[in-house]
Structure 1
Amino acid sequence: MGKNVAGKLGKGISPKQFYDAMQKNQEAFQGWSSRFEWVNGEDREFFESINNRDDLRCVIIASDWCGDVVRNVPVVFQAMELTGMSVEVLIMEEHLDTIDEFLTMGGRSIPIVIIADTGGHVLGQWGPRPSYVQEPMVAFKQANPDREASDYQEKLALARQELIRRYGDDTAYQQDIITELRTLLASV
């Protein structure tokens, strides 16, 4: 049986409430949001075309302290806004039962974007970061299964440095998010 978030539909907060309640990183979040632009008209049209579907819901597990949330969720918010889809945010610390159903390689990585139907059946998910940016972490976790190893933290720090390098200082990574979300939505 597949995953279901029916018990969480209607329990989250709106994207605006999430932004307004941010205790950390609000300025950076707004900065990435204001720098977002639609590079490809076809992508924009695709997200707008979802407007005629009333069978989809979007639930995003996030927290304001997380750098990946700050980089990625502004893009997700803007893409989902065009779909007209119901979008709600679950603060991870208040919904540990939910994040524990959507672990990334055994860890609580956020954001996780969940696309579900009106009955809460999970049709797909995205996150915590674009696949190109995520690659070094996947490689690290596969090569370093022992969290107690003496060099684990050192190697983890190197993997995180590579993630930051792959994000870069510009907004190119944002197009990866749009492409991956479009692929996900096209499949549901």
Structure 2
Amino acid sequence: MELLDWFQKGMRFQEYIQGMKVNKDEMMGIYDRFSLSDKEITRLADFKDTGMKVIVLTEDWCGDAMLNNPILLKIADEIGMEVRFVLRDRNLELMDQYLTNGTSRAIPIYIIIDKEGKEKAVWGPRAIQVQEMVNNERKKLPTQDAEDFKDKQMSMYRRLTASYQEDEKIWHSVADSIIEAIVSGK
């Protein structure tokens, strides 16, 4: 299937939100409180109303999607980029073309296309700074066979989720990373 067909198949934002069962309030909280900086808006100026579109491979249970999707939506609002949501687990044919490190079905993945449907950039699943933060947290965990591994892992997830919802520096590192993909076309 062509990327434009995948885009047409995807859900609009309202339809995606209505179907969410997990992380809806958290995601909307970020969406309601996040604003692009003047610098971020300036970097996007050349991409306004160019007919770009984005296919969002996502699932509502994903903490990274909870963080990244509302920031992408603000960027899309700024430049008039249409966004469509495609659920990863029901669309593995597309997902498997965009594996992280060639093996992982990590999400969200943003496939940015031009008005003709040609791929211009792919982004995801995390900004470099967020990945470094996750890596640092993972280093603190005991080995997987340790008795307290699951408890410590869940505690790590709670800390990360809380910082995703509150830390504006994280939000802007995500925005900068997505904007860089748009600007560089990578």
Pick aligned residue for 1:80 from 57, 76, 80: 76
Within-5 A mapping of 1:129-168? 129-135=126-132, 154=149, 161=156, 164=160, 167=164
What is the TM-score with the length of structure 2 in the denominator?
0.78
TM-score between the two structures when normalised by the length of structure 1: 0.78
Deviations 1:107-133 (A, max 9, x none): 111111111123433221111121111
Alpha-carbon distance in 1 for matches of 2:82, 2:118: 15
Segments of structure 2 that go 5 or more residues without pairing to the other structure are 139-143
- The AA in structure 2 aligned to 1:52 is D
Find the aligned partners of 1:89 and 1:98 in 2 and give their Cα distance. Answer: 12
CA-atom RMSD in angstroms: 3.0
Partner Cα distance (2:180, 2:123) in 1: 10
- Find the aligned partners of 1:178 and 1:187 in 2 and give their Cα distance: 14
Task: Give per-residue Cα distances to partners, 1:129-182, cap 9 Å, x unaligned.
Answer: 2111113667999xxxxxxx867xx59x76x93882874842211111111122
Identify unmatched segments of 5+ residues in structure 1.
142-148
Q: Figure out how many residues of one structure are paired with residues of the other and give that number.
A: 174
Shift of the alpha carbon at 1:67? 0.9
Deviation at 1:84, TM superposition (A): 0.6
Match of 1:47 in 2: 44
Judged with a 3 Å threshold, the aligned counterparts in structure 2 of structure 1 residues 136 and 186 are, in CA distance, closer, same or farther, namely same
Kindly, what percent of the aligned residue pairs are identical? 23
Alpha-carbon separation, structure 2, partners of 1:86 and 1:7: 14
Residue 97 (1) aligns with residue 130 (2): no
